[in-house]
Chains A and B, each alone.
Chain A
Amino acid sequence: MTLTQAVRSTAPGKTTPKRAGRTRSEAKRAAPAFYWMVWPAVIAFAAFHTVPVIVGIFFSFTNYAGYGAWNFVGISNYLNLFRDDRVLQAYGFSFLFAIVATILTNAISLAIALGLNAKIKARNFWRGVYFVPYILAILVIGYVFQFFFSNSLPKILAGIPLFRDNILTNDTWAWTAIVVLAVWQGCAFAIIIYLSGLQTIPAEMYEAASLDGASAWRQFRSITFPLIGAFFTINVVLSLKGFLQVFDPIVALTNGGPGTSTESVTLLIFRGGFSGGEFAYQTANAVIFFIVITVVSLFQFRVLQRREADF
C-alpha cells in the first residue's frame, strides 16, 4: 500500500513544473485513472504470487522441512527428483490424464456448442443447463460422483466386474473415472468460449457455401473450424494447463489411490511437502512443474496459432 501512495505522489510532482512546455506528450499520456486501475493488481500480484514464488525457488536449494533450521544443499533436491519413480509416475499420470481430458473436453464441447448455436427450440434453456456444472462447487460434485461410482454404478452395471467392484478401487482404470468428472465439469466453460466463437462467423459465409453446394461437413471443415481457430487455441491451451494441475477431482474421488496410481504432480507436491515433511524437496518439484507447464503452453500457442485463419 505504501508503494501505491509513493507512486501516486511522485507522478504529479514530476510533471507539474514542465506542464507548459510539453503539451504534445501530455496529450499522449493516459489519464491517471488508468494507472490507478493497473497498479493495485500489479502490487497484489507481486506480493502474493511473485514474492512467494521467488522464496519457494530459494528454499528448493535447501533442506528446509517447513520449520526449524536448514542448510543449502545445492541442486541435490533436483537430482533426487529425477531418480524418484514416484515423481516420474506422477508426471506420467498428469500428462496422460491431461491429454485425454483435453481431447475429450474439446471434442465434446465443440459438438455441444454447434448444437447450442443452431436454431433449436428453447435454446437459452439448453445453454443454461450446460453452464450449470461450472457454477457448482467441485467438492460437492465430487462427492456426488463418488457416491455414483461407489454405490449407484455397482448396482446399475452389476454384470460388468469393473463397475461392480467400484471402478475407483481399480488401480488400472480409476483414472478414467476422474477423467469423466473433470470433463463433465470442464466442458461447461469450453462450451461458452466456443459459442462466442461461433457467433463471430457471419451467416453470409454459410449462405454462399450452400449456394456452391458444400455439404454440412465441408462447411464445418472449411468455414467453421478455421474461423474459430483462435477460440480453439485458447480452449486447448487453457484446458491442458488446467488439467495438468488437476487436484480437487482427485481428492474428491480417489485421494490419489488406490496406492499412488492416481497421484497427480500437484497432489504429490501437497502431500509430500505438507504432511510428508519434505517441504524443500517438493518445492523443487513445484519449480520443475512450473517450467514444464510454461514450456508446454508456449509450445501449444506456437503450433496452434500457425493454423488459425482470419477473415
Chain B
Amino acid sequence: MSNRSRPLRRVAAVVAAGAVITLLGGCASSADSEVTTLNFFQFKGEALEDFDEMIADFEAKNPDIRIRQNQVADADTLIRTLLVKDRVPDIITLNANGNFGRLAQAGVFHDFSDEPVLKTINPAVQEILADLGTYGDEVNGLGYVNNANGVIYNQDIFEEQGLEVPETWDEFVAVCDALVEAGITPFYGTLADSWTGIPSWNALGAYPAQDDFFDKLRAQGEDVGPDSEVSFQKDFGEVMDQQLTLFSYMQEGYRGRTYDDGNAAFANGESAMLLQGIWATNPIKQVNPDIRMGIFPYPGTDDPDDRLLVSGVDVVFTMGKDNPKQEAAMRFIEYAFQKDVIEDFAASQNMVPSVVGAELSDDAALQSVKPYFDDGRITGFIDHQVPPSIPLIPIDQEFLFNGDAESALAALDNEWRKVAARTIPVTTGDDE
C-alpha cells in the first residue's frame, strides 16, 4: 500500500520538485547532439537502487543515451504540477491508482497501442489499467510489476492442523472454525490503523464489482440509491456480511492493534492468517526470516472456478504525449520489459512481473499466486474506482466496529450521490 509512506514523501516533495525542475532546465540547455539525455520520473523509493542498476546496464549497451533517474516523493502531486507546466518527463513510472486513471483520461500520456512491447504483457494486467481510465481507446500505460491482495497464511500451521487452502466461502468459514477449535487465532486484526480494513473489502467487493458495476454507478451519478439499477445498498450487502464474519474471528483487542503489530504477531505464529496483501510479506520476513507463508485469494464465491485474485499494478511505465525523445525513451522501456531484466526487478521488489513467460522468484508467497496470473484470473482494486472525496476507509472501519451494514452502505450511496451532484467538470483549459 503506497499510502503508508505518504507523510515522508510529502516532506521531500518540495526538494524533489526543485531537483526535477533544475534537471529539466539542464536538459533544455544541453546541446549535445551525440548523447540523448532522458529524464526518468520514478515514484518508488524502495526501487531506487534496482533502477540505478538497470540504468547502468542499459547505458553500457546504449552509449548514445543517458538516463537521469529522479526518484520523487509524493509523485501523484508532482506529476500533475509538471503536466500543468508542460514539463513532462521523458519516461514516467507511477503507481497505477485512481489518480493515474484520471490523468490518462485527460489524454496527457502516449498511446502504446502499436508498440510491439505491448504484446509481451499479460492482457489481464493491461485490463486492470484500462479499467482505471484511458483516453478513448488508447493504451496509456504499460503495466510492469503487480502486487497481490490475498489472505496471507502460515503454511506450517495449516499443515500441522491438516488444513487445506479454502476454495469456497463455506470452506473458508470451516477453516476458521477448525482453527478456533484448535485454540489458534484465525486472523490478527489491526483496526487501529483504519486502512487495514480495506484490503479485505477490496477483495470481497471485487466479486459484485464485476459486470461494470462502477461504470453503471458513474452513469447513474446523482440517482444512486436502493432502487437504482446498481448501488452499494443493492449489491454490496453480502460483501459486508462476509467481511463482518471474517472480523468475528479476530483476536481479543484487535481494535487497538496496528499494522506493524499485526505483521510481528503473524511472523511469530500468533495467528494463522492475516487479511493483508503481498506488501506485508517483506515486513513479516524482517521479523521472522524462516516463516513459510502463502497467499490465497479471498474465496467470496461458492464455485472454486469463480475465484478472483485482486491485484494492482504497482509500477506502470508511461511517457508524455508527443515526446520529442520518444524513440530513445522507447528503447529504454523495451529494455526494461526484457524477460531477464523484469525478472530481476520483480524478484528484488517481491512483485509479480507482467511479461508473459517471465519467471517469478522462488518466494513461496509469490509462487502461490502465480496460477492466477497465468490464467488471467485477476482483477483490480475497487477502491481505486471510488472518488477520494468519499470517506470510504472511515465508513468501513465504523461498520467493522458497530456491524451496521445498512447504514454503512447507505452512507456510501449517499456520499456517491453528493459527490456526483457537486462535481462540476472543467470545461475549458489546456491540460484537462
Interface of A toward B, CB cutoff 8 Å: 63, 67-71, 73, 76-77, 80, 83-86, 150-151, 154, 165-166, 169-171, 255-261, 263, 271-272, 275-278, 281
Nearest Cβ in chain A — how far from B414, in angstroms?
7
CA distance A260 to B418 in the complex (A): 16
Q: B192 — which chain A residues lie within 8 A by C-beta?
A: 150
Among B398, B401, B432, chain A packs the most CB atoms within 10 A around the CB of B401
Q: A258 — which chain B residues lie within 8 A by C-beta?
A: 394, 397-398, 401-402
In the complex, number of A-B residue pairs with CB atoms less than 8 Å apart: 97
- Classify the secondary structure of A's interface with B: loop
Contact (A71, B395) CB under 8 Å given A165-B255, A166-B256: no
Other than the given A256-B394, A259-B394, 18 more pairs (CB < 8 A) read A67-B84, A68-B84, A69-B429, A69-B430, A70-B426, A71-B427, A77-B422, A80-B421, A80-B422, A151-B256, A257-B397, A257-B398, A258-B394, A259-B391, A259-B401, A259-B411, A263-B394, A277-B387
CA distance A165 to B400 in the complex (A): 13
CA distance A165 to B403 in the complex (A): 14
B361 part of interface (Cβ distance < 8 Å) = no
- Report 21 cross-chain contacts, Cβ distance below 8 Å, ordered by A residue: A63-B423, A63-B425, A69-B426, A69-B432, A73-B424, A80-B422, A83-B418, A84-B422, A154-B253, A166-B253, A166-B255, A170-B401, A258-B394, A258-B402, A259-B394, A271-B391, A275-B388, A276-B388, A277-B387, A277-B389, A278-B389
Task: Contact check, B426 vs A71: say whether CB atoms are below 8 A apart.
Answer: yes
Q: A169 — which chain B residues lie within 8 A by C-beta?
A: 191, 255-256, 401
- For window 28-58 of B, CB contacts with A under 8 Å fall at none
Task: Contact check, B256 vs A76: say whether CB atoms are below 8 A apart.
Answer: no
Among A73, A258, A272, A275, chain B packs the most CB atoms within 10 A around the CB of A258
Of B191, B256, B421, B424, which is within 8 A of A71 by CB? Answer: B424
Q: A83 — which chain B residues lie within 8 A by C-beta?
A: 418, 421
B9 part of interface (Cβ distance < 8 Å) = no
Nearest Cβ in chain B — how far from A137, in angstroms?
16
Nearest Cβ in chain A — how far from B21, in angstroms?
16
B428 part of interface (Cβ distance < 8 Å) = yes
Of A154, A171, A271, A281, which is within 8 A of B422 by CB? Answer: A281
Q: B397 — which chain A residues lie within 8 A by C-beta?
A: 257-259
CA distance A301 to B192 in the complex (A): 42
Q: A272 — which chain B residues lie within 8 A by C-beta?
A: 389
Interface size classification for chain B:
35 or more
B80 part of interface (Cβ distance < 8 Å) = yes
Of A63, A154, A166, A255, which is within 8 A of B424 by CB? Answer: A63
CA distance A105 to B81 in the complex (A): 45
Q: B81 — which chain A residues lie within 8 A by C-beta?
A: 67
Task: Contact check, B80 vs A68: say whether CB atoms are below 8 A apart.
Answer: yes
Task: Contact check, A260 vs B394: say whether CB atoms are below 8 A apart.
Answer: yes
The proximity string for B residues 97-116 relative to A, scoring 1 for CB distances below 8 Å and 0 otherwise, is: 00000000000000000000
CA distance A251 to B80 in the complex (A): 28
The proximity string for B residues 386-415 relative to A, scoring 1 for CB distances below 8 Å and 0 otherwise, is: 011101001101110110000000010011
B194 part of interface (Cβ distance < 8 Å) = yes
The proximity string for B residues 260-279 relative to A, scoring 1 for CB distances below 8 Å and 0 otherwise, is: 00000000000000000000
Of A76, A165, A257, which is within 8 A of B194 by CB? Answer: A257
Residue of A nearest to B426 (CB): A69
Nearest Cβ in chain A — how far from B10, in angstroms?
10
CA distance A281 to B422 in the complex (A): 9
Contact (A68, B391) CB under 8 Å given A76-B422, A255-B194, A258-B398: no
- Among all A-B residue pairs, the 3 with the closest Cβ atoms: A69-B429, A259-B398, A276-B389
CA distance A151 to B431 in the complex (A): 50
B62 part of interface (Cβ distance < 8 Å) = no
Nearest Cβ in chain A — how far from B27, in angstroms?
23
B77 part of interface (Cβ distance < 8 Å) = yes
Task: Contact check, B426 vs A84: say whether CB atoms are below 8 A apart.
Answer: no
Task: Contact check, A68 vs B429: say whether CB atoms are below 8 A apart.
Answer: yes
Of B77, B191, B423, B431, which is within 8 A of A69 by CB? Answer: B431
CA distance A257 to B430 in the complex (A): 39
Q: B425 — which chain A residues lie within 8 A by C-beta?
A: 63
Nearest Cβ in chain A — how far from B13, in angstroms?
12
Task: Contact check, A277 vs B422: say whether CB atoms are below 8 A apart.
Answer: no
Contact (A68, B426) CB under 8 Å given A151-B256, A271-B391: yes
Residue of A nearest to B99 (CB): A277
Nearest Cβ in chain B — how far from A153, in angstroms?
10
Q: A76 — which chain B residues lie within 8 A by C-beta?
A: 422, 424
Q: A84 — which chain B residues lie within 8 A by C-beta?
A: 418, 422
Task: Contact check, A63 vs B194: say whether CB atoms are below 8 A apart.
Answer: no
CA distance A263 to B44 in the complex (A): 32
